[in-house]
Amino acid sequence: MSSLGFEPEGCTTAMGILPHLDPRAALDLAFSLDIPFWPQLPNLGFSEDTYVQTVLRFPGIIVDHERQLLRFNEEGFTAGLPEYLEAEEGSDLFAVLPGDSLTYGPFMERLRGMEKEPKAVRGQFMGPISLCLKVTDELKKPVIYRDDVRELLIRHVAARVNRHLRDLRELHPRAFVWVDEPGLELLFTGITGYSAERARFDLEMFTSLLEGPRGVHLCGNPDWDFLLRADIDILSFNAYGAAEVMRGYAAGIASLLDRGGCIAWGMVPTNFAEAEKEDLPTLMDRLGHIWESLEEGGVDRGLLFRRSMVTPATCCLVNPDLTVTVERSFRLVNALSKELRERFTRIPSS
């Protein structure tokens, strides 16, 4: 059995960020998939941004809505730290509260009112490394370079994830949460001054604090050896953009699957220019070629199918048609999942 507590078998979900200006339409889309997710709508305002919703109630944080920046204030940090440190991990300090999000309350209400229980439900926050790169001090320096603040902020994200998971599990036993880590791609460009060794230590500390399953999503192209060796249970990534790259990591993928891990294959592009070129047959061929090469590298294709989810390739907020292409992509995700199930459910493990 997978670390999720069930075998995904090609079921569908998606990243939380949507381009919609209508929360109800965004919720409709989120619930159109096998695993509904909490949608976050940054086009409605900075308060709906995933970074903001993750860092809420951390001492010393100033949210600059006009410039859409997150600032760290030393004086506010010092003043708020004693009360913050007294809070228990499960307290409302780390919860998503009614005023934090336009979609979270309605999302939870829909879950409570569903006649048929979905296969699972999913939430998300921003990952700690990316968050520490985003928050800057008075000198405009990311707090990732400050050992004291970085460690506490990592623990803050873990506490947020754990409380989020507990709240979701009150409504569904097979809930899980993953974190979005776009910053992992920057670590290996040589421009951050934050070493891979330090990142590995921080990521290991973060995952050790999570109640699990431990999931990471990213749209970029990090050091895959680094990520596949990490102590994670779910890897969600842009498989459409990384198709050629992933064929060289059969051993790492096999190891992830063997220890109960799952992969969310972001195969359906949401970017207008890419999406215009693709349909169900081309996407099936693209994913099929990846899986065939992984099988040649020793990955059991029956196990690969059972431990796989299908998702859009990326979030996209800037299409000229805003939501039309994204919604078409979600329909293609469901169609791709159906096709995969028809082709792979009868394939036995080798």
Domain coverage including residue 16? 11-344
**Residue at 44 is within a domain:** yes
Least confident interval from 24-33, 116-125, 245-254: 245-254
**Residue at 350 is within a domain:** no
% residues pLDDT > 90 (the chain):
85
Query: What would the mean pLDDT of 305-322 be, rounded to a whole number?
Result: 96
Q: How many domains does the chain have?
A: 1
Q: What is the pLDDT of residue 246?
A: 83
Alpha carbon distance 254, 266 (integer Å):
18
Please enumerate, as own/partner, the contacts of 317-322 that have beta carbons within 8 Å and a separation of 24 or more. Answer: 317/17, 317/19, 317/42, 317/43, 318/19, 319/19, 319/270, 319/271, 319/272, 320/272, 321/272, 322/19, 322/20, 322/21
**Residue at 4 is within a domain:** no
What pairing do the DSSP bridges indicate for beta strands 11-12 and 308-312? Answer: parallel
Q: SS3 breakdown of the chain: % helix, strand, coil, rounded to 5?
A: 50, 15, 40
* Other C-beta atoms lying within 10 Å of the C-beta of residue 110: 16
Rg of the chain, C-alpha, whole Å: 20
Which backbone phi and psi does 125 adopt, to 5 degrees? Answer: -135, 175
**Residue at 1 is within a domain:** no
Sequence-ordered strand ranges (E) for 171-210: 175-180
- Give me the CATH number covering residue 142: 3.20.20.210
pLDDT tens by residue, 186-217:
765 555 678 878 888 999 999 999 998 999 99
pLDDT tens by residue, 222-271:
888 888 888 999 999 999 998 888 888 999 999 999 999 999 999 999 99
DSSP state of 145: G
Choose among 218, 244, 242, 214: nearest CA to 230.
214
Q: What is the pLDDT of residue 248?
A: 87
Q: What is the pLDDT of residue 349?
A: 45
% residues pLDDT > 70 (the chain):
97
Give the 3-state secondary structure of residue 347.
Answer: coil
Choose among 204, 258, 194, 205: nearest CA to 227.
204
Alpha carbon distance 220, 104 (integer Å):
27
Which backbone phi and psi does 74 adopt, to 5 degrees? Answer: -60, -45
Alpha carbon distance 159, 56 (integer Å):
12
* Other C-beta atoms lying within 10 Å of the C-beta of residue 128: 28
Answer yes or no: is pLDDT of 183 > 90: no
At residue 350 the predicted structure's pLDDT band, cuts being 50, 70 and 90, is: very low
Q: Which residue has the higher pLDDT, 248 or 55?
A: 55
**Residue at 196 is within a domain:** yes
250-258 vs 280-296: helix crossing angle, rounded to 10: 90
Residue 116 CA, distance from chain mean position: 25
The full DSSP string for 27-93 is: HHHHTTSSS-B--B-GGG-GGGSHHHHHHTT-TTEEEETTTTEEEE-HHHHHHHHHHHHHS-TTSGG
**Residue at 318 is within a domain:** yes
**Residue at 5 is within a domain:** no
Query: What would the mean pLDDT of 15-24 be, rounded to a whole number?
Result: 97
Which backbone phi and psi does 257 adopt, to 5 degrees? Answer: -65, -40
Least confident interval from 113-117, 181-185, 205-209, 285-289: 181-185
Answer yes or no: is pLDDT of 348 > 70: no
CA angle, residues 182, 185, 191, in degrees to nearest 5: 120
Alpha carbon distance 193, 104 (integer Å):
36
